[in-house]
Chain A
Amino acid sequence: MRVRRTSRAATWGYVGLALLFLYMPLLPPLGFSVTARPGDGLTLRWYRELGSNPLLVGGIENSLLVALVVGLVTPPLALLAAMAVRELGVPRLVVLVVLLPLFIPGVSLGLATAVFFRALDITPSVWTIAAVHALWALPFAFLVILAVMATFDPVYLEAAYVQGANRWRAFVDVELPMIRHGITGAGIFAVILSFNETVRTALVQGALNTVQTYIWATFLQVGLSPTLHALMSLLIVLTLALVSVLLIVTSRGAAR
């Protein structure tokens, strides 16, 4: 019995170490963003400087716009895909196709879409960026919605049909209220992914910038700076805040 308890403790220790390994990289930017020079006191100077950079402000605007579009477009697409699994009669194929963007490495996906847009003479815009982000976020949103739909018993739909509801009414009045939190969750997930995307964006953005590609381009040109660390800290905090919202939305929905 004691052996078992020790091995259990060791396993927990191991899980803790793995978590430490994954969480450790979230801390350094926060530290660098509030120190003026190593050894000096704390300062918020780098945060104040963020607002005075027009290139960056433009990038932030683009990021917000793209995230908004992606957050609105992806959930309906993912919902349709999840329903297609149930109704089109080729579930394996639907799952494979919708999950595929997950498996294509970022550089290859970015290159392929960039070249595709260029061949079609589509100039890079927030729309092309949003399209690529939606493609990248679709599999995740799909999985979120699929997981919620799995908890919904289709027997309720049958009951609605018996009561004379057509498919649309049955869906809107019966199924939708029960899976709504999954759809909201998928939207927030899509926004988070869009807000944290660099590699694919960098290849399809043309002359535009997003916050993330601004960071990447500045790093490649001049390296990291306290201002960049301040920006990265904000993004980390924002992402964690969005994750909290996501958790609250999905857990509240699941509790109902």
Chain B
Amino acid sequence: MGAFQGSIAGALSSRARRLRRLGRRALLALPLLFVAGLLFVPLGQMFLWSVWERAGFWVRPGFTLAWYRTFVTGARLTVLERSLVVAAGVTVLGLLLAYPIAYFLARHVRREFSRAILLLFTVPFLVNYIIRTFSWVYLLSRTGPINRALVALGITDRAVDWLLFSDFAVCLGLLSSYMPFMIYPLWAALEGIEQPVIEASWLLGAPPPRTFFSVTLPLSMPGVFAAVTFGFVGSFGEGAVPIILGGVGYQLMGNTITSALDVLNYPLAAAMSSVVVMAMLLFLVAWYLAFDLRAVLGKIAHWRF
């Protein structure tokens, strides 16, 4: 009798426990559902719309590749080319500028100190990059401080024109917007490398450059890849910087999308936006396949997941 009651109570409590477990899992899945509902579904819809037909100022279900065709045959192809070139340039430049900083902070500076410096790099990023980009218009202008300094130092005898409303200005603006984004993952990856690994390389007789190229650099690749993704996708889809610093008619993917929206051509905007997002997904899939995402989280990754 007692055994019977016990087994009923056991069944009940195991059922209750299973329910509670389910409830807890549902609660934990809430943020994932939030991202799915507000990001995956809208992006899916956007992909769909990019092959739908235009009806007045709205869309109609159908299937057409016309929007992608408009995109690769018309004048917009130069926009795509320029965006690719600018984004690649900014990424490479950003990497070359950010890697030494991240390396120095992660491997040659005391931990607390390197965190403080890293913080200094993060603070300006928190101020809206559009406000910071406006400042570059003044800083780079003919009568701005940079031109005045160049003239005063005798580097040029007249103010330089190409500083503003040029590829140079756009790249500079993009660098100033996205560089903090690139330093952080690089630092996290470099910081995550255990010192004994480096020391082992020294003990085996590898000189510092060899150690760097065959140990440190390969181990920091997840960070490099994260930095490349941020730099490339960010600049590739950027809409405000080219408007502010590129001058009249300077088009990159981002502001071409918004100008398609201004004339209410939703499918075309969706098609161009899809190209940007697909480029991003390509990066992310490659990244997911090649590296453990957690490597980018640095020391956090040592926490038992």
Complex: chain A residue closest to B120, CB-CB: A19
B:283-304 near A, CB below 8 Å: 283-284, 288, 292-294, 297, 299-300, 302-304
Interface string of A66-106 (1 = CB under 8 A from B): 00000000000110110111111001101111111111111
Q: How far is the CA of A25 from the CA of B126 in the complex (A)?
A: 13
The answer on a CB contact under 8 Å between A100 and B39 is yes
CB within 8 A of A111: which of B35, B46, B130, B176? B46
Minimum C-beta distance from B273 to chain A (A): 4
Counting chain A CB atoms within 10 Å of each CB, which of B120, B124, B243 scores highest?
Answer: B124
CB within 8 A of B257: which of A32, A85, A111, A135? A111
Q: Chain B residues with Cβ under 8 A from A100's Cβ?
A: 35, 39, 284
Q: Does B128 contact A (CB under 8 A)?
A: yes
The answer on a CB contact under 8 Å between A85 and B130 is no
Q: Chain A residues with Cβ under 8 A from B266's Cβ?
A: 115
A113-B38 CB under 8 A given contacts A22-B121, A91-B294, A236-B127: yes
B:201-220 near A, CB below 8 Å: none
Q: Does B233 contact A (CB under 8 A)?
A: yes
Complex: chain B residue closest to A216, CB-CB: B130
Q: How far is the CA of A26 from the CA of B123 in the complex (A)?
A: 11
Interface string of B232-267 (1 = CB under 8 A from A): 011011111001100000000010011001000010
A28-B180 CB under 8 A given contacts A105-B234, A107-B273: no
A:34-88 near B, CB below 8 Å: 77-78, 80-81, 83-88
The answer on a CB contact under 8 Å between A108 and B38 is no
Q: Which of A142-150, A157-165, A172-180 contacts B (4 or more CB under 8 A)?
A: A142-150
CB within 8 A of A116: which of B41, B180, B277, B297? B41
The answer on a CB contact under 8 Å between A235 and B131 is yes
Q: Chain B residues with Cβ under 8 A from A26's Cβ?
A: 124, 127, 132, 135
Q: Does B104 contact A (CB under 8 A)?
A: yes
- State the main secondary structure of chain A at its contact with B: helix
B:123-177 near A, CB below 8 Å: 123-128, 130-139, 176
A111-B273 CB under 8 A given contacts A24-B139, A25-B136: yes
Interface string of A193-236 (1 = CB under 8 A from B): 10011110001000000001001100110001000000010011
Q: How far is the CA of A207 from the CA of B284 in the complex (A)?
A: 35
Q: Does A1 contact B (CB under 8 A)?
A: no
Q: Does A29 contact B (CB under 8 A)?
A: yes
Minimum C-beta distance from A69 to chain B (A): 14
Q: Does B305 contact A (CB under 8 A)?
A: yes
CB within 8 A of A167: which of B24, B124, B237? B24
Q: Does B36 contact A (CB under 8 A)?
A: yes
Q: How far is the CA of A236 from the CA of B257 in the complex (A)?
A: 29
The answer on a CB contact under 8 Å between B294 and A112 is no
Range of interface residues on chain A? 35 or more
Interface size of B by Cβ–Cβ distance < 8 Å? 83
Q: Does B93 contact A (CB under 8 A)?
A: no
The answer on a CB contact under 8 Å between B31 and A106 is no
Q: Does A3 contact B (CB under 8 A)?
A: no
Q: Chain B residues with Cβ under 8 A from A116's Cβ?
A: 38, 41-42, 45
Q: Does A192 contact B (CB under 8 A)?
A: yes
B:25-42 near A, CB below 8 Å: 25, 27-32, 34-36, 38-39, 41-42
Q: How far is the CA of A96 from the CA of B35 in the complex (A)?
A: 11
Q: Chain B residues with Cβ under 8 A from A98's Cβ?
A: 31-32, 35
CB within 8 A of A107: which of B25, B237, B288, B303? B237
Q: Chain B residues with Cβ under 8 A from A224's Cβ?
A: 134, 137
The answer on a CB contact under 8 Å between A88 and B39 is no
Q: How far is the CA of A203 from the CA of B254 in the complex (A)?
A: 12
Q: Chain B residues with Cβ under 8 A from A132's Cβ?
A: 38
Minimum C-beta distance from A255 to chain B (A): 12
A198-B130 CB under 8 A given contacts A105-B280, A107-B237: yes
Minimum C-beta distance from B26 to chain A (A): 10
A19-B121 CB under 8 A given contacts A26-B127, A28-B139, A112-B42: yes
Identify the B interface with A (CB < 8 A).
24-25, 27-32, 34-36, 38-39, 41-43, 45-46, 49, 97, 100-101, 104-105, 108, 117, 119-121, 123-128, 130-139, 176, 179-180, 229-230, 233-234, 236-240, 243-244, 254, 257-258, 261, 266, 269-270, 273, 276-277, 280, 283-284, 288, 292-294, 297, 299-300, 302-305
Extra 8 A-B pairs, beta carbons < 8 Å, given A11-B104, A101-B35, A105-B254: A80-B31, A96-B288, A106-B237, A107-B254, A111-B273, A116-B38, A143-B297, A215-B130
**Closest 8 CB pairs between A and B?**
A105-B237, A25-B135, A116-B42, A112-B42, A196-B128, A25-B132, A81-B31, A91-B305
